[in-house]
Amino acid sequence: MSTEVSARSAVTRSAAERTAALRVRDVRVAYHRVEVLREITLDLQAGEWLGLIGPNGSGKSTLLRAAVGLVPSSGRFEVASGRPPQPTDLSLMPQAPELPPGMSVVEYVLLGRTAHLGWLGSESRSDRQIAVNVLRRLGMASFADRTVLHLSGGEAQRVVIARALAQQAPVLLLDEPTSALDLGHQVEVLELVDELRHEEGLTVVAAMHDLGIAARYADRLALLHRGHLMAHGTPEQVLERDLLSQVYGHPLHVHTIEGHLVVTPAPRHTKERS
């Protein structure tokens, strides 16, 4: 079942395609001949936030990794001008990157500038300033000279986000960016990304497991299940109780609390007392 919720006219669709920051066309990925992404087609407008949701193993990371060429795919990814993405077009914050031992935080964040350096080029003072500014905006300026291996899980995750932001690509791909963060830091990071979206027209694709948080920040959600795009639309359209219960394999409730969507598991069936 595929639910493309918004039916647009052909005229509107071609206009939207022209302004898309990222187009995904019939993308398929197979690992060892087992297909894990099947005919994914999506358009992302400049400045839009797309939330990528779905159970474990549904294909979220694979889609993000395929977009930056880390896994081979068939079909097409295209950026605004209709060409395939170059390293400066898309920035991926991977789910669990290895942090190089012996590297300081600021050196690690500077790796985000690599896509902007020429062959054998080295970082300039302005690259360093960009890295320091990103760390400052994430409240991590005082960590700049610490070694990356001596960070807590949440601190390390924020440093990985800093590296992705330092790349200053127009499209930011975040793979579970806040899974290791406490509530305060979750909001801080997501608000910063949202600010950059509004200030600089950054386009965001964020894979997240917390459906309520995903709904709060995303303009649209894309729900993956076993490599299929099951639903695609506004959070109100996609966070539908029966669909989510089917996809997640457990009865779920969808509530609206103080204007925000919240998804909770239904309590397990308990035996009625006789």
Residues binding ligand ATP (CB under 6 A): 31-32, 36, 54, 56-62
Comparing CA positions, the residue from 255, 235, 252 lying closest to residue 243 is 252
Least distance in Å: CB of 70 to ligand ATP?
10
Task: Give the β-pairing of 49-53 and 220-225.
Answer: parallel
34, 40, 44 from 71: Cα distances, Å: 14, 15, 21
Return the number of the residue (60 or 228) whose C-beta is nearest ligand ATP.
Answer: 60
Query: Can you tell me the distance from the alpha carbon of 146 to that of 141, in angstroms, rounded to the nearest whole number?
Result: 10
DSSP-based three-state secondary structure for 10? helix
**The token pair that represents 93 in the structure block:** 């914050």
Q: Which residue has the tokens 């394999």?
A: 249
DSSP-based three-state secondary structure for 1? coil
Least distance in Å: CB of 42 to ligand ATP?
15
Return the number of the residue (62 or 168) whose C-beta is nearest ligand ATP.
Answer: 62
Return the number of the residue (96 or 117) whose C-beta is nearest ligand ATP.
Answer: 96
Return the number of the residue (35 or 191) whose C-beta is nearest ligand ATP.
Answer: 35
Q: Which residue has the tokens 């197979």?
A: 30
